Amino acid sequence: MAPAVAELSRTELEARLEEAEATLRAIRDGEIDAVVVSGGDSEQVFTLEGSSQSYRTFMETMDVGAAAFDADGQLLYANAALCMLLGQSPGALTGPVLIGLLDSVNQAKFRRLLAQAAQQRETAEIHLRAEAGARSLLLTGAPLDFGVVRGTAITFTDISEREEAAAVRESERLARAILASANEAVIVCDRGGRVSHLNGAAMRICAASPIGRTFGEAIDLTFADATDLMSGADIVGMAISGMPVQGLEAAVRVPSAAVTDVMISAAPLVVSGDRMQGCVVTLVDLSHRKAAERRQALLMGELDHRVKNTLAMVMAICARTAAHERTIEDFQKSFSGRLQALAATHTLLSNASWENLQIKDVLGAELEPFASLSSGRIVTEGLDIAVDAKVAVSLGLVFHELVTNAVKYGALSVPGGKIAVRRLEAGGDELIIEWQEQDGPLVTPPTSSGFGQTLISRSLGSGGAKLEFRPTGVVCRISVPRG
pLDDT classification of 3: cutoffs 50, 70, 90: very low
Q: Which has the higher per-residue pLDDT, 23 or 177? A: 177
What pLDDT is stored for residue 45 in this prediction? 46
d(CA 34, CA 22) in angstroms, rounded, equals 13
What pLDDT is stored for residue 55 in this prediction? 61
Question: How many beta carbons lie within 10 A of that of residue 450, not counting itself?
Answer: 16
Phi, psi of 199 (to 5 degrees): -100, 180
Which DSSP symbol is given to 182? -
User: Contact at 8 Å (CB) between 269 and 286?
Assistant: no
What pLDDT is stored for residue 461 in this prediction? 57
pTM score: 0.43
User: Contact at 8 Å (CB) between 215 and 236?
Assistant: yes
Q: Which has the higher per-residue pLDDT, 459 or 228? A: 459
What pLDDT is stored for residue 109 in this prediction? 92
- The region of weakest confidence among 34-48, 245-259, 416-430 is 34-48
Sheet of 195-198: strands edge to edge? 195-198, 185-189, 276-285, 259-270, 245-253, 220-222
What pLDDT is stored for residue 171 in this prediction? 64
Residue 122 pLDDT greater than 50, yes or no = yes
Residue 46 pLDDT greater than 60, yes or no = no
- The region of weakest confidence among 95-99, 242-246, 453-457 is 453-457
- Residue-wise pLDDT for 228-268, tens only, equals 567 888 888 888 888 888 888 888 887 766 778 888 888 88
What pLDDT is stored for residue 38 in this prediction? 43
Sheet of 473-481: strands edge to edge? 378-381, 418-424, 430-438, 473-481, 465-470
From residue 463, alpha-carbon distances to 22, 460, 478, 480 in Å are 134, 6, 8, 8
d(CA 115, CA 218) in angstroms, rounded, equals 62
pLDDT classification of 51: cutoffs 50, 70, 90: very low
User: Contact at 8 Å (CB) between 266 and 233?
Assistant: no
* H or E segment to which residue 361 belongs: helix 359-367
d(CA 79, CA 63) in angstroms, rounded, equals 10
d(CA 49, CA 70) in angstroms, rounded, equals 21
- Residue-wise pLDDT for 200-225, tens only, equals 888 888 877 888 888 888 888 887 66
What pLDDT is stored for residue 342 in this prediction? 76
What pLDDT is stored for residue 58 in this prediction? 67
Question: How confident is the model over 404-412, as a mean pLDDT?
Answer: 88
Question: How confident is the model over 74-85, as a mean pLDDT?
Answer: 87
Taking CA 143 as the corner, what is the angle to CA 138 and CA 149, rounded to the nearest 5 degrees?
Answer: 130
pLDDT classification of 2: cutoffs 50, 70, 90: very low
pLDDT classification of 286: cutoffs 50, 70, 90: confident
Question: How confident is the model over 304-333, as a mean pLDDT?
Answer: 76
Q: Which has the higher per-residue pLDDT, 158 or 224? A: 158
From residue 3, alpha-carbon distances to 6, 11, 69, 247 in Å are 5, 12, 46, 110
Residue 427 pLDDT greater than 70, yes or no = no
Closest CA to 74 of 118, 32, 14, 105: 118
- Residue-wise pLDDT for 104-114, tens only, equals 889 999 999 99
Q: Which has the higher per-residue pLDDT, 73 or 1? A: 73
Question: How confident is the model over 336-357, as a mean pLDDT?
Answer: 76
d(CA 434, CA 424) in angstroms, rounded, equals 7
Q: Over 307-352, what HEC string results?
A: HHHHHHHHHHHHHHHHHHCCCHHHHHHHHHHHHHHHHHHHHHHHHC
Highest mean pLDDT pick, 16-20, 306-310, 363-367, 463-467 = 363-367
Taking CA 263 as the corner, what is the angle to CA 260 and CA 265, rounded to the nearest 5 degrees?
Answer: 135
From residue 221, alpha-carbon distances to 218, 268, 283, 287, 419 in Å are 10, 20, 11, 15, 66
| Phi-psi sector, 198: left (phi>0), alpha (psi -120 to 50), beta | beta
Taking CA 132 as the corner, what is the angle to CA 131 and CA 134, rounded to the nearest 5 degrees?
Answer: 85
Q: Which has the higher per-residue pLDDT, 73 or 348? A: 73
Closest CA to 147 of 301, 20, 3: 20
Closest CA to 149 of 281, 44, 256, 35: 35
Q: Which has the higher per-residue pLDDT, 82 or 465? A: 82
Which DSSP symbol is given to 411? G
Share of the chain above pLDDT 70, in %: 77
What pLDDT is stored for residue 225 in this prediction? 61
What pLDDT is stored for residue 1 in this prediction? 42
- The region of weakest confidence among 49-53, 222-226, 301-305, 463-467 is 49-53
Share of the chain above pLDDT 90, in %: 8
User: Contact at 8 Å (CB) between 141 and 114?
Assistant: yes
Residues in a beta bridge with 276: 270
Highest mean pLDDT pick, 19-33, 265-279, 383-397 = 383-397
Q: What does pLDDT average to over the chain?
A: 78
Question: How confident is the model over 408-434, as a mean pLDDT?
Answer: 85
Q: Strands 386-387 and 430-438, how do they pair?
A: unpaired
Residue 23 pLDDT greater than 80, yes or no = no
Residue 211 CA to its chain's centroid (Å): 27
Q: Which residue type is seen at 285? A: D
Q: Which has the higher per-residue pLDDT, 8 or 301? A: 301
